[in-house]
């Protein structure tokens, strides 16, 4: 029997992996590389989806209104519907569980005396120590509340008290000394908190999601409706919310809970969904009806994950409201505080229109793929039907320069011919692509929003005319403000892209590098 070669042995180890399995081991590529960033990223993805859903519903309502207006029919009912879908988004961040360690002599020679496990603020398990008592909530510092626990370990009484003045709950340890013979001995202990679990809840008043679409939207990576459309969008990869589900699943082992209703006459569907990382397919863990869902139509997303809550969550939502003045966003923090970022406009932003790719922005690989999949039978019709700003005369000029016949079958082109075609396309004298694929905030709406959030003494906003880079349209809107709630001597740069606050890599922009 012939012995297998080394190459054949190595070949046995090769196997295909799914995209979900890849990101399971490389979650940092999705923005979940630290606990503070992970919690904020999950909230961001859910809020982005909520804003998009409300805007898409408004777009459909406005299209119906236009059709009825042309027929001379009454549209007052639809105007009321339009007001009802102005985004009302509620974000809740709830503490799910903690783990404490009581440590003797913190440092190289430390010893863990005991562990305490908490869930939703209540002790569920104690290891290595004895819970002696839990005092009632005590009123401290002008009606602020604090919980105090008393444990026994090695004869010592250890008291753990919450410091209520802290924005994020902080716990300090107090202990009593014990007598060993004639000596009074006091050991040094400290409390160390470990990874915290939070449950995020994001609810909107959008159109809701039909039952059949809930599992693939939340339980499959690279599934979405925006990837193939060329127009301004908050996100288009089809990874966002499903990546948050995957992160929650990895860190807690729990599925995401989705509640949605599409019609007030129908019950709200509730599903618990997780991702099969080996196949990148959704698994439905639970399916039922939620009788307590109050929205006439809308969606609620709940994900439990490991993270760290910080003030950046409130900052992100406040900045989101500045560039989305038609939205009202409510945040309820882990300690129960409520922050409302109110809308300053009742008008939806202009809907961006989908456009075709422009020849100046096309790349070789994309062109080859388009040539293989096109339904056009000739190169002339391929250029005029699948690209923007290419008329019959421009197409003939491009083909003449590439030395290709107009009636050639696009699928028959060789690599050399495709190279000649793309070179001619890039060099062609064509009009810029249409810029109605953009949806600017608007100078006046931006000014009102800045006034509402920062109450400045002075503010001015403006925008440039749309421009194009490598065939991709873009537009810059800017504002400057001082005074009011802005601290004196402080200069802050707030950056946004596609109506999303950029919270990380503050210097990674053209403004800093210019």
Token code pair at residue 32: 């979940």
Give the integer Cα–Cα distance in Å for 37 and 316. 11
Tell me which residue of 160, 187, 157, 164 sits closest to 172, measured CA to CA.
160
Q: 132: which 2 tokens?
A: 């002696």
Give me the numbers of helices (H) and strands (E) for the chain, helices first please. 13, 25
Architecture of domain 21-51+204-310: 2-Layer Sandwich (3.30)
Q: Give dist(CA 314, CA 427) in Å, integer.
A: 48
The Cβ-side half-sphere exposure at 134, using a 13 Å CA radius, reads: 11
Tell me if 190 sits within 8 A of 106, measured CB to CB: yes
Residue 219 to residue 303: CA distance in whole angstroms = 12
CA distances, 438 to each of 61, 362, 475, 478 (Å):
20, 19, 8, 16
Q: Are 475 and 468 in contact (CB under 8 A)?
A: no
Strand, helix or coil at 66?
Answer: helix
Instruction: Report the alpha-carbon distance of residue 273 to residue 282 in Å, rounded.
Output: 7
Of 471, 253, 435, nearest in space to 360 by CA: 471
Decide: 100 and 112 in contact? Cβ < 8 Å. Answer: no
Query: Is 0.75 topped by the overall pTM?
Result: yes
Q: Does domain 443-513 have CATH number 3.40.190.10?
A: no
Angle between helices 76-84 and 35-70 (to 10 degrees): 180
Confirm if 347 and 445 have CB atoms less than 8 A apart. Answer: yes
**Which residue carries 């008592």 as its tokens?**
133
By the 10 Å C-beta count (0-12 exposed, 13-18 middle, 19+ buried), 109 is classed as exposed
Q: How far separated are the first and last CA of the chain, in Å rounded?
A: 69
Q: How far apart are CA 47 and CA 329, in angstroms?
A: 9
What distances in angstroms separate CA 290 from CA 207, 215, 242, one per listed residue? 17, 17, 22
Q: Compute the half-sphere exposure of residue 185: CA atoms within 13 Å on the CB side of its CA.
A: 11
Pairing of strands 196-203, 111-119: unpaired
DSSP reduced 3-state for 361? helix
Query: Left, alpha or beta for 397 (phi > 0: left; psi -120 to 50: alpha)?
Result: alpha
Taking the mean position of all CA atoms in its chain, how far away is CA 174? 41
Q: Which residues contact 491 (CB under 8 A, 6 or more apart)?
A: none
Return per-residue pLDDT of the chain as tens, 514 residues.
667 778 877 777 777 777 767 777 777 777 788 888 999 999 999 999 999 999 999 999 998 998 988 888 888 888 888 999 999 999 999 988 777 788 877 677 778 888 888 776 678 888 888 888 765 444 444 444 555 778 888 777 777 776 554 444 445 565 656 666 667 666 767 777 766 889 999 999 999 999 999 999 999 988 766 656 677 777 655 578 999 999 999 888 899 999 999 999 999 999 999 999 889 999 999 999 998 899 999 999 999 999 989 999 999 999 999 999 999 999 999 888 999 999 999 999 888 888 898 999 889 998 999 999 999 999 999 999 999 999 999 999 999 999 999 999 999 999 999 999 999 999 999 988 888 888 888 888 888 888 887 888 999 999 888 887 777 888 889 999 988 888 887 777 888 888 888 887 766 766 666 5
Which residues make Cβ contacts (< 8 Å) with residue 212, sequence separation at least 6?
none
* HSE-CB for 197 with a 13 A CA cutoff: 22
**Which 3 state secondary structure label does DSSP give 111?**
strand
- The top-level CATH class assigned to 359-427 is mainly alpha
What stretches of 80-147 adopt beta strand conformation (E)?
Answer: 88-104, 111-119, 122-127, 130-134, 138-140, 144-146
């Amino acid at each position: 029997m012939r012995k297998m070669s080394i190459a054949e042995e190595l070949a046995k180890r090769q196997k295909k992996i799914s995209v979900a399995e890849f990101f399971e081991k490389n979650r940092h590529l999705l923005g979940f590389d630290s606990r503070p960033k992970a919690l904020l990223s999950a909230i961001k993805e859910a809020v982005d989806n909520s804003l998009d859903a409300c805007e898409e519903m408004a777009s459909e309502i406005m299209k119906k209104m236009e059709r009825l207006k042309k027929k001379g029919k009454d549209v007052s009912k639809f105007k009321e519907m339009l007001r009802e879908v102005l985004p009302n988004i509620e974000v809740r961040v709830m503490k799910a569980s903690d783990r404490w360690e009581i440590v003797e002599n913190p440092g190289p020679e430390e010893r863990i005396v005991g562990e305490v496990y908490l869930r939703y603020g209540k002790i569920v398990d104690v290891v290595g120590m004895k819970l002696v008592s839990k005092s009632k909530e005590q009123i401290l510092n002008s009606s602020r509340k604090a919980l105090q626990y008393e444990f026994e370990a090695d004869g010592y009484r250890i008291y753990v008290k919450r410091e209520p003045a802290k924005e994020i709950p902080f716990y300090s340890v107090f202990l009593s000394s014990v007598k060993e013979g004639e000596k009074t001995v006091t050991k040094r202990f400290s409390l160390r908190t470990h990874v915290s679990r939070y449950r995020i809840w994001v609810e909107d008043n959008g159109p809701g999601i039909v039952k059949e679409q809930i599992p693939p939207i939340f339980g499959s990576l690279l599934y979405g409706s925006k990837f193939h459309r060329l127009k301004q969008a908050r996100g288009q990869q089809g990874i966002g919310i499903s990546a948050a589900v995957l992160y929650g699943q990895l860190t807690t082992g729990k599925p995401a809970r989705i509640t949605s209703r599409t019609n007030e006459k129908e019950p709200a569907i509730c599903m618990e969904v997780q991702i099969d990382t080996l196949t990148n397919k959704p698994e439905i863990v639970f399916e039922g009806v939620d009788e307590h869902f109050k929205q006439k139509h809308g969606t609620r997303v709940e994900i439990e994950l490991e993270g760290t809550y910080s003030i950046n969550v409130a900052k992100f939502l406040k900045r989101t409201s500045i560039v989305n003045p038609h939205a009202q966003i409510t945040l309820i923090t882990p300690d129960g505080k409520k922050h409302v970022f109110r809308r300053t406009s009742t008008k939806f932003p202009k809907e961006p229109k989908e456009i075709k790719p422009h020849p100046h922005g096309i790349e070789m690989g994309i062109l080859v793929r388009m040539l293989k999949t096109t339904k056009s039978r000739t190169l002339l019709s391929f250029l005029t039907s699948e690209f923007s700003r290419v008329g019959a005369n421009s197409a003939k000029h491009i083909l003449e320069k590439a030395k290709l016949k107009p009636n050639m079958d696009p699928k028959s082109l060789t690599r050399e011919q495709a190279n000649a075609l793309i070179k001619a396309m890039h060099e062609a004298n064509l009009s810029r692509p249409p810029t109605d694929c953009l949806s600017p905030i608007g100078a006046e709406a931006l000014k009102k929003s800045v006034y509402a959030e920062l109450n400045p003494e002075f503010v001015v906003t403006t925008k440039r005319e749309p421009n194009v880079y490598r065939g991709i349209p873009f537009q810059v809107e800017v504002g400057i403000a001082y005074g009011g709630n802005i601290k004196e001597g402080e200069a802050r740069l707030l950056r946004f892209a596609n109506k999303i606050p950029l919270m990380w890599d503050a210097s990674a922009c053209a403004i800093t590098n210019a």
